């Protein structure tokens, strides 16, 4: 997703953080081929991701739920 995309601007504002470009393998390729803006966003640390004992620390759960609620409210419920 381009850094100036409106959706990214809104999400960065909700998070109060800057977006980063990272070199991870994801399942976004079909969406990119369809020219659909794609943003990979999720809880946890990359150090625990994609490991045999993959886990998410509990400290990431509440902020993620809050962010998802804000995103749903902004993108789905506002008129």
Domain boundaries along the sequence of the chain: 6-77
Q: Which pLDDT does position 38 carry in this prediction?
A: 81
List pLDDT tens digits, range 10-53.
888 888 888 777 777 778 888 888 988 888 888 888 888 888 88
Task: Report, as an integer, the average pLDDT of 51-73.
Answer: 91
pLDDT at residue 79 above 80?
no
Distance separating alpha carbons of residues 10 and 48, to the nearest angstrom: 28
- CA–chain centroid gap for 30, Å, is 17
Q: For position 26, what pLDDT does the model report? A: 79
Comparison of pLDDT for 24 and 9, the residue scoring more: 9
pLDDT (0 to 100) of residue 24: 74
The confidence score (pLDDT) of residue 50 equals 80
CATH architecture of 6-77: Orthogonal Bundle (1.10)
């Amino acid at each position: 997703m381009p850094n100036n995309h409106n959706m990214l601007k809104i999400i960065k504002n909700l998070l109060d953080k800057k977006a980063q470009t990272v070199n991870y393998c994801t399942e976004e390729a079909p969406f990119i081929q369809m020219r659909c803006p794609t943003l990979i966003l999720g809880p946890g640390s990359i150090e625990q991701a994609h490991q045999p004992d993959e886990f998410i620390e509990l400290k990431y759960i509440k902020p993620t739920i809050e962010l998802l609620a804000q995103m749903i409210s902004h993108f789905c419920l506002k008129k």
